[in-house]
Amino acid sequence: MVKKERRARATSNLDSQMIEPFHSKIAGVTRNNPDGTSRQELLAQCQIGQSLKLVREPDNSVDENAIMVLTMDGKQLGYLNKAIAAHVASKVDKGIQVDCEISDLTGGEIGKETRGCNVKITMHGLICNHCGKGVPADSNYCLECGGAIDSSDKPAGEKTGTKRGCLGCFGFIVLAVILIVVLSNLR
């Protein structure tokens, strides 16, 4: 029965999957770019819904997972914060498509002069269980290793093993309590 289910999953055509989008602030928006341009002035020209580019900067001396946030014409607005960058960098390095757009612009008014920018980040695709590489969501086979893609392959933004691990711990605790009760009744 299990073998049939696995075969059915492996041969099914997966619909395009888009991971739940999440939001973050752009860090470093008050700094100037190396060429002297003001990120604050660049933000003043931005609009909500505007698409942005995320570009890995693995040689960054502060953070090896650094991801620059750029306008589509290559002007730097800042960086993803360190925690978000670590999560996104691992997906980008595996070949997962990551989209970014402006979800909110803050500041730029009397009393709140400093501008800020919130972004919505969306990851598309799956991670192959065989080789760990990114796979387009509509693929039946991994382009890297040729392995069949099925529903057990993880969406790009999903943490692996989290639910199963928690359920396993809970089950172990329940089993331990039952064992203690049974052993105490035998005495």
Q: What does the pLDDT look like over 59-73, one tens digit per residue? A: 999 999 999 999 999
Give me the mean pLDDT over the 84-104 stretch.
90
Q: Is 178 exposed, middle or buried (0-12, 13-18, 19+ CB in 10 A)?
A: exposed
Is 70 exceeded by the pLDDT of residue 157? no
Question: What's the pTM value of the predicted model, to 2 decimals?
Answer: 0.66
Share of the chain above pLDDT 90, in %: 49
